Structure 1
Amino acid sequence: MTGNPWVDDEDDDTWLNHQIPGPEQTDGEAAGSPLPYLDPEVEAALAAEGPPEWLGTRWRDIEPPQQWDSWNALRRWVDWFIREYRLTTSDVPACWYRHPDVTAELYAAMCMEYKVFEEQAPGLAPMMMWHPNLAQMRMRLKEMTHEAGCVQAGGHKEPVAYSGTVGAYELDYDEDDWITAASTIRTEKVIDRPGQGVKYVRALAVDTDGVEHGASDPLGLRARSVAEVGSVRLAYTSATPGQAGVAVNIIGGPEDLTVVWEESPDGTTWADIDPDQNPEDTDH
């Protein structure tokens, strides 16, 4: 491909028998004819180094003054894309621009294709990013095109709503229920349990004027429970001729447990081990 991809018309537009949305046609301009005349200043701006400023912007967020240029550029890219990868109308229908999902997919592909080649230097991005994603994108395009049904119908087919009350791809909301759900407030608070017995807590819904609009059911908090000690076990961790490493594993018990080490010459009479003897001991 030669020239600037944003402003150069391709020769072969025979696969298209339509025109993209835009200003009204001039007299004598037929469907499938080359794109309308571009103002020299616009063409110069598009031909400048780097992509147009709208490229990479969300398609729905492109500013109105740039939308016509973005449609033109996307059509040129789609024309190239179809020829380059030998796509058929089962991949991209002739009325692709009438389908927001297909348009969004193609625009995302255009942005990605520019990104992987923008450095204009040999690299792995085209092979590792562009072509693997291209294969997946073709599958998505085929599914979108099949669901649209335009190819089967022999022309563009507008989607039809099944409910009969709203447009296609629109939800028939219960607005009152939506407002109720969207107005949901969720907050949390940590509350200390009582030392004994049960205490109850509740939450009030109060507006800025202090007016109460509702109250929750009470929630009972029982006194904190203390786990019983399940077991206290010792195990060797290391051994040398002069010293032995010993670890203790205590399962269960109150949170404020500490470890006291004792020793005995006969296993019946016990005394605390001098803490200074093992200054590296730590409790876990």
Structure 2
Amino acid sequence: MASPWSQDEEDDAWDEMAAGTDRPTDGQGTPLPFVDPSVAAELSQDGPPAWMGTRWRDIEAEYQWDAWNTLRRWVDWFVGEYRLGTSVVPVCWFRHPDVTAELYAAMCMEYKVWEEQAPGLGPMMMWHPHVEMLQMRLRRMVDEAGCTKTGAHKEPEAYGARGAYQIDYDEADWLRWASTEREHEMVERPEKGVGYFRARIVDSDGGVVGTSNVVALGAAAQVQDVAAELVVASSTPSAPRLSVAVASGRDDLGVEWETSPDGEVWDAQDEGAKDDDGVRGRAARVVVNE
């Protein structure tokens, strides 16, 4: 199918070039060899239009007619190439801002994935997967618009004094929320009991113009009991390892290891002592959770 980017050219200009009366130059005044009109047309389309890639709503007035016609040519190609029905692209697509924005974004993407004109993964990995998702979004938009149900364009219904898709703001609530300034402060909890905090609002002269609500913070919770749990971290024959977890809110505690032959009589373990075979004992790893 023909490219949606091609545009009609004036034959008079090409007749003059063929006659040698107005041959294109290289930009420095040197005439270029004769260029076939079809090739020259392609060269003149070397880059995207000046407006392409701009937000649709930001396209300047001087480009809008060209933008609409370029988008229409592309939509005609897109519908024919992918065999899309009116449930996906209705005949009044240009009167629906959401559908137009979707199609314009798709046009920009389709141009981008083919822009380098070299074999690559862009068309397969980017364009074609998005074509399927694009159709799903368009179907939803068209279904919500309701045009295909009546066979004619249907304007959105408005309820109340505002137009369709216009938010009826509570302006006072919006102004209060949008103009709110927020500051943060780190405070210390009281060591005992409850501490109360509030913020005063002052003007540039130091005058108090308002106060905040009051917030109460109690003293930090403390772990009342000290608890320890010992587990076998590794039971390897040569060097078994024990791990102890100590639950406490204190920072002045340490761990001392004890051994017992019967679980009744306990002696402090000498980490530097040697056993009967002359092997120095290993200290168990200590894990303390505070």
Which category describes the TM-score, using the shorter chain as reference length?
0.7 to 0.9
Compared CA separation, residues 240 and 153, structure 1 to 2 (3 A): closer
Deviation at 1:187, TM superposition (A): 3.0
Measured after TM superposition, the shift of residue 174 of structure 1 is: 1.5
Alignment of 1:114-125 (within 5 A): 114-125=111-122
Normalised TM-score (structure 1):
0.73
Pair 64,209 (structure 1): closer, same or farther in 2 beyond 3 Å: farther
2:7 corresponding residue in structure 1:
8
Tell me, yes or no, if structure 1 residue 58 matches structure 2 residue 55.
yes
Q: 1:163-198, CA deviations, whole angstroms, 9 ceiling, x for partnerless residues?
A: 1x1111111112111101212233332211111222
When the two chains are superposed, the root-mean-square deviation of aligned CA atoms in Å is 3.2
1:204 to 2:205 alignment: no
2:123 match: 126
Q: Report the Cα offset of residue 100 of structure 1.
A: 0.5
Offset at residue 140 of structure 1 (A): 2.1
Cα 1:246–1:88 change in 2 (3 A) is: same
Shift of 1:238: 2.8
Structure 2: distance between partners of 1:146 and 1:241: 73
Cα distance in 2, alignment partners of residues 47 and 229 from structure 1 = 84
Question: How far, CA to CA, are the matches of 1:109 and 1:215 in structure 2?
Answer: 54
**Distance of aligned partners of 1:237 and 1:147 in 2 relative to their CA distance in 1, 3 Å threshold:** closer
Distance in 2 between residues matched to 1:114 and 1:280, nearest whole Å = 67
Please tell me the residue identity of whatever aligns with 1:195: E
- Confirm or deny that 1:106 pairs with 2:103: yes
Specify every segment of 5 or more residues in structure 1 that has no aligned partner in the other structure, as ranges. Answer: 10-42
Partner Cα distance (1:275, 1:57) in 2: 77
Check conservation: 1:7, 1:47, Cα contact below 8 A: no
Within 2, Cα distance between the matches of 1:176 and 1:110?
42
- Using the TM superposition, name which of 226-235 and 190-199 deviates more: 226-235
Q: State percent identity of aligned pairs.
A: 51
Within 2, Cα distance between the matches of 1:64 and 1:282? 75
Give unmatched runs, 5+ long, in structure 2. 9-39, 274-280
The equivalent position to 1:262 in structure 2, one of 257, 265, 282, is 257
Are the equivalent residues in 2 in contact too, given 1:90–1:142 (CA < 8 A)? yes
Q: Match for 2:72: what amino acid? A: R
Map of 2:154 onto structure 1: 157
1:1-284 matches, within 5 Å, as: 1-2=1-2, 5-8=4-7, 47-163=44-160, 165-229=161-225, 231-239=227-235, 243-250=239-246, 252-254=247-249, 256=251, 258-264=253-259, 268-271=265-268, 283-284=287-288
- Partner Cα distance (1:246, 1:206) in 2: 60
CA distance in 1: counterparts of 2:71 and 2:204, whole angstroms: 52
Instruction: Report the CA distance shift for 1:257/1:53 in structure 2 as closer, same or farther (over 3 A).
Output: farther
Q: 1:162 to 1:249 in 2, by over 3 A?
A: same
TM-score by length of 2: 0.72
Count of aligned residue pairs for this structure pair? 248
1:282, distance to aligned residue in structure 2 (A): 6.3
Give the 3 Å change call, closer, same or farther, for CA 231–97 of structure 1 in structure 2: same
| Residues 189, 84 of structure 1: alpha-carbon distance in 2 compared, 3 angstrom cutoff | same
1:2 CA displacement: 4.6
